[in-house]
Amino acid sequence: MTDGTIHPGLDAAATAVSPQVIAWRQHLHQYPELSNREVNTARLIADHLNSLGLDEVRTGIAGHGVVGVLRGGKPGDRVIALRADIDALPVPDQCGVPFASTVVDENYPGGPFPVSHACGHDCHTAMLMGAATVLAGVREQLPGTVLFVFQPAEEGPPVDEKGGARAMLDAGALDDPAPTMAFGFHVTPYPKGYIGYRVGNQFGASCLVKLTITGQQVHGSTPWMGIDPMPAAGAVMTGIGQLYRQISAFDPVTVTIGHVEDVGRFNIIGQTVTLWGTIRCAVENDMTEVQKRLDTLATHTAQAYNCSATVEFLQDVPAVHNSKAWLDAGLPTFQRVVGVDKVVPSIPTLGYDDVSEFVNKFGGLYVTLGVQDAELDPNGMPFPVPGGRGLFVNHNPHFYADDDTLVTGVRLHAYVAYDHLNGTLVPH
Ligand SMILES: [Zn+2]
Ligand SMILES: [Zn+2]
């Protein structure tokens, strides 16, 4: 078989494996595991990779990370890293499928939490497992090496644990062989089978905010005998609304407090209030400025209420960036996977994905794959198809993904891997 004729074989193998991919996806969906707790997910992955007879299957990387190494039978120096994230979210599952999750993690820090794959990482994992089957089946024709990178804790580990893409790099997971390209994609509420791309920042820079306001604990009937941190916390949250006006209105920024942790009771003024949140910046250089202004707001507002405040910025993740050179190289491949009409520019978002750690280090690409009952309006914005399941964004309890689209993701991985190894998909 020559280079030009391998793609139909990849398609046939992807179709053949797709019932298994759907079964894996449904199983993973029903039994989701939170970040840094992906024990059974990792075992399922490793068992499958071992069954394929890969050259190496490395497990236990930065927690529950798994890397499979497939060395092709033809000479070639290129190394493609295909990455899937494997963790779930503390979100109830209301997507309405028979395999919906009823899992509750009783022991997770801050929990108990209902657990679900509300970000679709079950799809990513199953699609990459399917791609491993497809590529292992043509290993003799691969001019180079494929790394199947199953990454834990993409959604962020518990705050006092390490984890995620950077922890995998720190553990040397991709040192040998080092990739010449990293590739990842994310399922999104776009029309089924559409690939979305963007030159520049697809996702924003992110950090976790831990903002602690300290007062002095006292009986709820005698606030004057202590210091109440609650009004200060409220004032800080209100003040955050003014931070936007201190950053250029042309640079999207969000500051969200998603969780307020108080240690009081209806009749006790607690010692502290901790605000947990996240900052997202479309332009990475804005991050330092927003952090500085939030710190000023918190410390001075707290002082005005006779409290003190400390602000910590944790789990910083760089923006997901596609260079024009890499995207120019990748677009023909994407178009061969789904057709020219279904490869569309996508809008930037302030989500994050720490695949940026891999793409920044090794070069590569990141795109999106639509999985919902949607169509695009003339401006390229998705809207729900009448009579469909609706449009639900990632992290929403109703987020869903269409099983029939999974085979497209298998093909996407396989095409990108082969095209990079054979020198078709390389930047010039
Ligand atoms: Zn997510
Ligand atoms: Zn995600």
**Residues ≥6 apart with Cβ < 8 Å to 90:** 34, 105, 108, 111, 113, 114, 115
Q: Which two tokens stand for residue 63?
A: 């927690």
Q: Which of the two residues, 1 and 271, has the higher pLDDT score?
A: 271
Q: Residues 43, 124, 28, CA angle at the centre, nearest 5°?
A: 45
- At the top level of CATH, which class does the domain 205-317 belong to? alpha beta
Ligand 2 center–CA 155 separation, angstroms: 7
Tens digit of pLDDT for each residue in 212-231? 999 999 999 999 999 999 99
Q: How far is the CA of 118 from the centre of ligand 1 (A)?
A: 7
Q: How far is the CA of 304 from the centre of ligand 2 (A)?
A: 39
Separation of CA 227 and ligand 1 centre (Å): 38
Inform me whether the pLDDT recorded for 5 exceeds 90. Answer: no
Cβ burial of 178 (10 Å; 0-12, 13-18, 19+) is exposed
| pLDDT for residue 347 | 84
CA 125 to centroid of ligand 2, rounded, Å: 11
CA distance 232 to 140: 65
pLDDT, tens only, 109-134: 999 999 999 999 999 999 999 999 99
Closest CA to 132 of 32, 46, 59, 192: 46
Closest-approaching ligand to the CA atom of 396? 1
Q: How far is the CA of 301 from the centre of ligand 1 (A)?
A: 32
Report the alpha-carbon distance of residue 150 to residue 134 in Å, rounded.
17
Task: Calculate how far, in angstroms, residue 357's C-alpha sits from the geometric centre of ligand 2.
Answer: 15
* Average pLDDT of the chain to the nearest whole number: 96
**387 CA → ligand 2 middle, Å:** 27
Q: Please check whether the two domains, 5-202+319-422 and 205-317, share a CATH topology.
A: no
Question: What does the alpha-carbon distance between residue 383 and residue 58 come to, in Å, rounded to a whole number?
Answer: 42
How far is the centre of ligand 1, averaged over its atoms, from the C-alpha of 119 (Å)?
A: 5
Whole-number Å distance between alpha carbons of 301 and 7: 61
- Which residues fall in the annotated binding site for Mn(2+)? 119, 121, 155, 186, 395
Burial class (CB in 10 A: 0-12, 13-18, 19+), 224: exposed
pLDDT of 1 > 50? The answer is no
Report the separation in Å between the CA atom of 317 and the middle of ligand 2, taken as the mean of its atom positions.
13
Q: 17 C-alpha vs ligand 1 centroid, how far in Å?
A: 26
The ligand placed nearest to the CA atom of residue 124 is: 2
Residue pLDDT, tens place only, 365-415? 999 999 999 999 999 999 999 999 999 999 999 999 999 999 999 999 999
pLDDT at 7 over 60: yes
Whole-number Å distance, alpha carbon 399 to ligand 1 midpoint, is 11
Residues placed in the known binding site: 119, 121, 155, 186, 395
d(CA 9, CA 12): 5
The C-alpha atoms of residue 264 and residue 278 are separated, in whole angstroms, by: 24
pLDDT bin (cut points 50, 70, 90) of residue 348 is confident
CB 185 within 8 A of CB 370: no
Q: DSSP secondary-structure letter at 45?
A: H
Distance CA 286, CA 375 (A): 34
- For 265-296, write each residue's pLDDT tens digit: 999 999 999 999 999 999 999 999 999 999 99
pLDDT for 288: 96
**CA 413 – ligand 2 centroid, Å:** 17
Question: Which tokens go with 376?
Answer: 């695009």
Q: Which runs of E-coded beta strand occur in 86-235? A: 104-105, 113-114, 145-151, 181-191, 195-197, 200-203, 205-214, 218-219
Confidence of residue 59 (pLDDT cuts 50, 70, 90): very high
Ion ligand 2 residues within 5 Å by Cβ: 119
pLDDT of residue 67: 98
Instruction: Give the pLDDT confidence score for residue 240 in this predicted structure.
Output: 97
Domain 5-202+319-422 architecture: 3-Layer(aba) Sandwich (3.40)
What are the residue ranges spanned by the domains of the chain?
5-202+319-422, 205-317
What digits encode the pLDDT tens for the residues 238-258? Answer: 999 999 999 999 999 999 999
Expressed in angstroms and rounded, the spacing between residue 300 Cα and the centre of ligand 2 is: 35
Phi, psi for 57 (deg, rounded to 5): -130, 110
d(CA 199, CA 87): 27
Residue 39 DSSP label:
H
CA distances from 184 to 118, 199, 216, 221, 241 (A): 18, 15, 48, 56, 34
Q: How far is CA 272 from CA 108, 236, 366, in A?
A: 22, 14, 41
d(CA 189, ligand 2 centre) in Å:
12
CA-derived radius of gyration, the chain? 23
- How far is residue 17 CA from its own chain's centroid? 25
Ligand nearest to the CA of 86: 2
Q: Is the pLDDT of residue 3 over 70?
A: no
CB 189 within 8 A of CB 391: yes
* pLDDT tens by residue, 68-122: 999 999 999 999 999 999 999 999 999 999 999 999 999 999 999 999 999 999 9
Structure tokens at 247: 């950053």
**246: CA distance to ligand 2 center in Å?**
30
Residues whose CB is less than 8 angstroms from the CB of residue 174 and which lie 6 or more positions away in sequence, other chains included: 67, 81, 147, 149, 168, 358, 361, 362
Residue 4 pLDDT: 58
